[in-house]
Amino acid sequence: MFTGIIKGIGTVAEMEARGGDTRIVIDAGETDLGTVALGDSIAVSGVCLTAVELDGNRFAADVSQETLSLTTLGALEPGSPVNLEGALRAGEPLGGHLVSGHVDGFGVLESREQDARSWRLVFSVPSHLKRFFAPKGSVCVDGISLTVNEVEGERFGVNIVPHTMEHTTLGERAVGDRVNLEIDVIARYLARLNAVD
C-alpha cells in the first residue's frame, strides 16, 4: 500500500526487452532509497512495481506486457520523468489516502489554467469509471493523492498547489497527455457491494 504522497521524481535510465516483458531501470535521483530492499514495492507514477535489482540510487523492476499496455509505463523511454513513492510502513503517517498501485485506467488532461498561485486541472475519464468520482473525494493521478474539486459527466477537476506542481511530474503535463488513474479503494468496494449478481 501507498499514500499518494510523492517522495521524489526519478528518471527512466534504461528499458530492456526481456522474454516478452520489459525490465525498467529507474534512477531515483535525490529520492532516498536507503530503506528499500530487494523485493520491496515502489510506486512508479502510480504503478506498483517490485524492485528486483538495486544499485546505488537506481533500481530495476520487471514490467509485464499487460502493465505496459494498461498504464502510461508503456510510453516511457530513457529520460522520462516518473513519480516515486516507497511502500507505506507500519507506524508512518498516512498523509494522502490509501493507494494500492493498481491502475484502473487512463485519464486525459483536458485543460490546465492558473488560479492565483495554484493550477486548476481537468481530466476526462473512461465512461465506466465516471461513477467512482465524487466532489471532495480522493483520486490518485500518476501516483499523486488528490482531492476532487468538481465532477461533470466524464470529467473531474482538481486544484494543484505550487509544491505539488514543482515536486511531481504534474508540472510537465500538457493538455492531451494521458495519466494513470486509480479510483479510491473505498469507492471500488462500495460499488462491488452494491452490484447486482
Burial of 77 (0-12, 13-18, 19+ CB in 10 A): exposed
Q: Do 12 and 76 lie in a common domain?
A: yes
CATH code at 127? 2.40.30.20
Residue 91 inside a domain? The answer is no
Domain count, the chain: 2
Judged against a pLDDT cut of 90, whether residue 169 lies above it is answered with yes
Residue at 176 is within a domain: yes
| Secondary structure tally for the chain: helices H, strands E | 3, 13
Q: Are 29 and 19 in contact (CB under 8 A)?
A: no
Burial of 56 (0-12, 13-18, 19+ CB in 10 A): exposed
Query: Residue 192: is its pLDDT beyond 80?
Result: no
99 in any annotated domain: no
Whether residue 197 has pLDDT greater than 80: no
Answer yes or no: is pLDDT of 195 > 80. no
What domain range is 165 assigned to? 105-194
Contacts of 145 (CB under 8 A, 6+ apart): 3, 4, 5, 95, 96, 97, 99, 138, 139
For position 29, what pLDDT does the model report? 92
The verdict on 123 and 56 lying in the same domain is no
* β-bridge pairing 138-141 and 178-183: antiparallel
pLDDT in tens, 100-126: 999 999 999 999 999 999 999 999 999
CA-based nearest residue to 159, from 114, 106, 188, 120: 120
Determine phi and psi for 164, rounding to 5 degrees. Answer: -65, -40
Same domain, 162 and 116: yes
Contact between 125 and 181 under an 8 Å Cβ cutoff? The reply is yes
Number of other CB atoms surrounding residue 179 within 10 Å: 24
